[in-house]
Structure 1
Amino acid sequence: MDDMWHKEAWDNIKRLLPDDNEGSRVLLTTRLSEVATHANWFSPDHHHMRLLNENEGWKLLCSKIFGDGRFIPELEAVGKEIVRSCKGLPLSIVVVSGLLSNISRTQREWGYIAKNLNQILISKDSHCTKVFSLSYDHMPHHLKACFLYTGVYPQDFEIPMSKLIKLWIAEGFIKMNSSKSLEEVGEEYLEDLVSRNLVMVGEKRFNGKIKSCIVHDLLKEWCSSKALDEKFIHTLNANIYYCQEIAKDPRRLCIRKLDSTDEARADILRTIGTFSLVRSLVSQSKPHDELWCCKLLRVLDLSNVDLEFFPSGIIDLIHLRYVYLCCELCNGIHISKYLPDSLRDLQTLIIRQRCIDSSVYLPRGIWGMRHLRHLQFGTCCFPHPLEGDKNLVLENLQTLSYVSGSSCTEEFIKRIPNAKKLGIRVKTRDEQKAFSLRHLMNLHKLEILKCIVEPTSCIIISKDLTLPKNLIKLTLSGTKISWKDMPIVGSLPNLEVLKLKNNAFQGLEWEPIKGEFCRYEVSTY
């Protein structure tokens, strides 16, 4: 039984297949892991089809085209190029074999197929398109948008899970769940796409969760094509020179690296500013100044663009939910003139600084950004709340890194009660005086903690050292805590990963105590 889509279909047909101990077997294929598990519930072992290596792909291509006949040596180079472009996907190799069987066996004809392979395979009436469309049509509505969104990333790119989910949340794709956070629901969505064999797991975290994912090049091309057909995302690349080819007033734009002429590239980027309804922009090319006319922008991802300065135009984009920039921020810069109090909807702000030693002073209005979930800088300094701000708490903040040691007062920690990931950077002796690890005991949901003390700082006094009990991963650098206090770390009931770097502890000996590190799995020194 080939390509079964529903558990109920198996339940209906298995009634006709009684088990009379005759040794018979039923072969079932499906694209859904849950169907395979349901049909074979008594055994966890299923045969997961894998991608072919280049040698296996070449043999498959030859067997489909030539069978037992004589292979033409002159076609080997271009034939292997076609196989490499298929990236091990048997479906694409079989489909392209059918195309090659019906054309002249010349280098010119095969070379044309090799050059235009993806466009041919995902053409409207191709078998690959029909297969992909079937998988897409069987997806629930909320997953369709999440899947199409993976098409904004370039080929051969491992998509960071955390970044993808942040974008899904900013776009409003994630449904609220009373018992789970939006990030947890997003992880379930991604695992669902993996179980449907539409997304492959790239790298896993220490706890087995997905760290990055990969979409096969052919599927990614299909995603971009489907997204364009449904007016979901419009992708610009080096093959598109005129913005007139984009539908009127697109909602989402993805700009790949534009290798066209300077004049054509400038024309494209300038025209983007005329699209008054653009909600999302993911770009690998530096946008033109007209970008800041897109007043309805919610998502701005320029993570692969080196900007000289923090763009002052952000001050007018009051609907922003997600911002990811790579730029230079001078030491001590007050970002308040660029990050106004009006950005009340902001959920994620990530600034990748080329110089991590620079400290950024956040505006006092940061305490009013109640939707803020993720905040990442090289180092940032929080303002002390005023008398009128005392009731303001960032309840939704889950990720904060890196924050200065001087900001981490007891009062500050109480204002980020639901933080799950915290990075602290202590640079000076003055910061040292205001900082103490014992304040972190108020963070009952904290799972990941990184504490980095610069070499110029003095030793952190480990007196009254305490750590949150829910810590799963702990990284210490330069803290110079005494080895005699290691039992405090070893007694953490959920700790699985411990990284000790650059004089994290000091002393000649460490004597482990039996029963410590009960869930310990990974260490780095």
Structure 2
Amino acid sequence: MGEGFFEADGSNEMEAMGEDFINVLLRNSLLQIAERDVYGNVESCVMHDLLHDLATSILRGSFREDEITRVRYVFLKDDSSAVLKNNAKYLRTLLFKDKINGNMFSNFESLHVLTFGSREVEELSNEIKKLIHLRVLDIEQTSIEYLPDWIGELFHLQTLRACSYRLKQLPSTLKNLRNLRHLYIEENVELSAEIGLLTSLRTLKIFRVGDKNGYKIEELGSLNCLKGKLQIDNLEMVRNKEEAEKANLSNKPKLLELYLGWKIGRQGETTNDENVLEGLQPHSRLKNLVISGFGGRSFPSWTRNMEVDDVGQGSRLPLTKLVKITLSDCSECEEIPMFGQLLNLKCLRLYKLRNVKSINSSFYGSVNDETRTVFPVLEELVLKTLPKLTVLKGIESVGASAVSVFPHLQHLTIEDCGVLTRFPTHFWSSLKCLNIFRNRSYKPLADIFQAKLTLLTELWIDVIDDVESLPDWLFYSNPNLSKFTIEQCSNLREIPAGLGTLNSLKELRITDCPNLKRIGDLGVNNHKKVSDPLQLCRSVHARLCCIFHVK
């Protein structure tokens, strides 16, 4: 795209055309997929070995610098003035790993892509503003702190990569780059005012709401081409629902990941948070939702029921595309929304919800003859720092025993839920990884163990004060257990038999259990009991084994 090889037409964007070309190369095995994102989209590719060898053989040879002519693409690790001088008017792409003589840029009249790859670069040469065809500017590997005002004169610039930890602020003239499609910056960089004028933007990772004109949330209203991820911070600056609606999030169908953040630890009135969140309804195609610092006692209707308005149709649409949901630091929230009916939800994380006392059956949604499975594809559930949570209820409707709940749940973490004493007993048979940290009571773990787990590969128990023993069947029923950790359980008295049968065990850690008196039969050496913990380490089939402070 940066080279200008294709342009958007009425039906296709440049990015979509580029993806089509990539897919052609993939289908013909000229490229191979190296990495996908969590949604299955291709993130990076590598060249096929045979194609790489062919290119290498063609390029192999030695040349004098003055013999290299009509070069369009140059990657230089050090200054090679002869190559640059002889090819200045032909160059389309220049990737430079060292400092470069700034006076040379005026000769690169056809340059489309310019990348700096040296921390020694601390400022941009004024000559760069003469590169009227420049489409891509990459300063990520530089030490530049401030971009010059003349950046706003690069009217054809489409991509600005500035994810540099040194960069502090963008210039006010950025608003003049009406063709800018992708802006990459770090979270600490201060955006310039009137970002809403950049209506071609597809990539804007973060927007901080301000209280001055040009920095308010309404700047997002005109950016309906945004795609991928958007993080909106400082939502406490938004006064009401009407102001929040000016962000026009429901009209951004290509936005897949949305982070809505209020300042954590705010003092004073937070009652308008509910109205603001009501006005921030996303499009129904959203796949990842994070809500952080929300100060309302209850979530608004679209969040509570996971349904949003169908724009222009007067109806409601469920957020069925959601794959991941995170609620964090919602300190006044008293109730968890209805998540059980989300057909594609794979990960649910609840952090620091300090006012939630119970998770009720509404959490699962309505159950009827048509809905016999809730949380149908959920793979990971995390409950962390819910200090008032006493109970996670099961389904209470008629015929609940016939309902399948969490049929694909593999990872469960319960941490810092100090008063949790009641947990469903029959949902957990698919678990592979179970982590219970700092929960005082053994009751939730005992409830989970009633499911008689058989697929565990990782088990971590930490700071459970009243646990005295573990189920006798634990090791015999989970032959694929590879990691077993139990720490700071002051009343633990025995480990059940069967450790020696775990041929898959790679890591064993038992620490700070001062009352541990017995480690059960190993299942090896004719089932002879081993009283010495170090002997246990030598007997268990484990490549890494640590036991400390067990006596």
TM-score w.r.t. length of structure 2: 0.50
Q: What is the Cα deviation at residue 186 of structure 1?
A: 3.6
Q: How many residue pairs align between the two structures?
A: 335
Name 2:145's counterpart in structure 1.
308
Q: Work out whether 1:496 is the aligned partner of 2:350.
A: no
Name 1:195's counterpart in structure 2.
27
Q: Distance in 2 between matches of 1:233 and 1:503?
A: 51
Contact residue 330 and residue 352 of structure 2 kept, 8 A: yes
Q: Distance in 1 between matches of 2:325 and 2:167?
A: 27
Name 1:209's counterpart in structure 2.
41
Name 2:205's counterpart in structure 1.
376
Q: How does 1:27-176 map to 2 (within 5 A)?
A: 168=1, 170-173=2-5, 176=8
C-alpha change, 1:315 and 1:185, in structure 2 (3 Å) is closer
Q: Distance in 2 between matches of 1:471 and 1:399?
A: 14
C-alpha change, 1:210 and 1:391, in structure 2 (3 Å) is closer
Contact residue 292 and residue 328 of structure 2 kept, 8 A: yes
Aligned-pair identity (%): 18
Q: Distance in 2 between matches of 1:515 and 1:384?
A: 49
Contact residue 160 and residue 182 of structure 2 kept, 8 A: yes
Structure ranking higher in strand proportion: 2
Q: What is the Cα deviation at residue 249 of structure 1?
A: 1.6
Structure 2 counterpart SS, 1:272? helix
One-letter amino acid of the counterpart of residue 485, structure 1: I
Q: Distance in 2 between matches of 1:211 and 1:395?
A: 23
C-alpha change, 1:480 and 1:270, in structure 2 (3 Å) is same
Q: Distance in 1 between matches of 2:142 and 2:270?
A: 33
C-alpha change, 1:432 and 1:266, in structure 2 (3 Å) is farther
Structure showing greater radius of gyration is: 2
String of CA shifts for 1:151-170, please: whole Å, max 9, x gaps.
xxxxxxxxxxxxxxxxx3x5
Q: What is the Cα deviation at residue 376 of structure 1?
A: 2.0
One-letter amino acid of the counterpart of residue 46, structure 2: I
One-letter amino acid of the counterpart of residue 342, structure 2: L
Q: How does 1:499-514 map to 2 (within 5 A)?
A: 499-500=348-349, 502-503=351-352, 507=356, 509-510=358-359, 513=364
Q: Distance in 2 between matches of 1:297 and 1:475?
A: 39
C-alpha change, 1:217 and 1:503, in structure 2 (3 Å) is farther
Q: What is the Cα deviation at residue 326 of structure 1?
A: 2.8
Q: What is the Cα deviation at residue 172 of structure 1?
A: 4.3
Name 1:485's counterpart in structure 2.
336
Q: Distance in 1 between matches of 2:219 and 2:165?
A: 32
Name 2:479's counterpart in structure 1.
none
1:425 to 258, 261, 273: 261
C-alpha change, 1:242 and 1:383, in structure 2 (3 Å) is farther
Structure 2 counterpart SS, 1:291? helix
Q: Distance in 1 between matches of 2:95 and 2:222?
A: 37
Contact residue 29 and residue 48 of structure 2 kept, 8 A: no
Contact residue 177 and residue 185 of structure 1 kept, 8 A: no
Name 2:114's counterpart in structure 1.
281
Q: How does 1:350-389 map to 2 (within 5 A)?
A: 350-353=184-187, 355=188, 360-364=190-194, 366-377=195-206, 379=208, 381=210
Contact residue 395 and residue 417 of structure 1 kept, 8 A: yes
C-alpha change, 1:296 and 1:185, in structure 2 (3 Å) is closer
Q: Work out whether 1:348 is the aligned partner of 2:168.
A: no
Q: Distance in 2 between matches of 1:410 and 1:178?
A: 29
Q: Distance in 1 between matches of 2:155 and 2:113?
A: 13
C-alpha change, 1:242 and 1:231, in structure 2 (3 Å) is closer
Q: Distance in 2 between matches of 1:411 and 1:275?
A: 43
C-alpha change, 1:316 and 1:217, in structure 2 (3 Å) is farther
Name 2:157's counterpart in structure 1.
320
Q: Distance in 2 between matches of 1:293 and 1:191?
A: 35
Contact residue 348 and residue 373 of structure 1 kept, 8 A: yes
Contact residue 401 and residue 423 of structure 1 kept, 8 A: yes
Structure 1 counterpart SS, 2:93? strand
Q: Distance in 1 between matches of 2:219 and 2:100?
A: 48
Name 2:374's counterpart in structure 1.
516
Name 1:238's counterpart in structure 2.
78
Name 1:447's counterpart in structure 2.
287
One-letter amino acid of the counterpart of residue 517, structure 1: F
Deviates more, 1:468-477 or 1:298-307: 468-477
1:271 to 86, 104, 116: 104
Q: RMSD over aligned Cα, in angstroms? A: 4.3
Contact residue 232 and residue 259 of structure 2 kept, 8 A: yes
C-alpha change, 1:208 and 1:396, in structure 2 (3 Å) is closer
Contact residue 273 and residue 295 of structure 2 kept, 8 A: no
Contact residue 290 and residue 325 of structure 2 kept, 8 A: yes
Gaps of 5+ in 2: 60-67, 309-318, 365-371, 383-412, 414-551
Q: What is the Cα deviation at residue 345 of structure 1?
A: 1.0
Contact residue 203 and residue 210 of structure 1 kept, 8 A: yes
Name 1:12's counterpart in structure 2.
none
Q: What is the Cα deviation at residue 409 of structure 1?
A: 0.6
- Structure scoring higher RCO (CA < 8 A, sep ≥ 6) equals 1
C-alpha change, 1:427 and 1:480, in structure 2 (3 Å) is closer
C-alpha change, 1:317 and 1:185, in structure 2 (3 Å) is closer
Deviates more, 1:432-441 or 1:195-204: 432-441
Name 2:542's counterpart in structure 1.
none
Contact residue 234 and residue 246 of structure 1 kept, 8 A: no
Q: Work out whether 1:248 is the aligned partner of 2:83.
A: no
Name 1:337's counterpart in structure 2.
172
C-alpha change, 1:266 and 1:417, in structure 2 (3 Å) is closer
C-alpha change, 1:251 and 1:180, in structure 2 (3 Å) is same
Contact residue 392 and residue 415 of structure 1 kept, 8 A: no
Q: Distance in 2 between matches of 1:349 and 1:178?
A: 23
Q: What is the Cα deviation at residue 323 of structure 1?
A: 0.6
Gaps of 5+ in 1: 1-167, 259-264
Q: What is the Cα deviation at residue 300 of structure 1?
A: 0.8
Q: Distance in 2 between matches of 1:275 and 1:363?
A: 31
Q: Distance in 1 between matches of 2:48 and 2:355?
A: 48
Structure 2 counterpart SS, 1:409? helix
Structure 1 counterpart SS, 2:141? strand
Name 2:64's counterpart in structure 1.
none
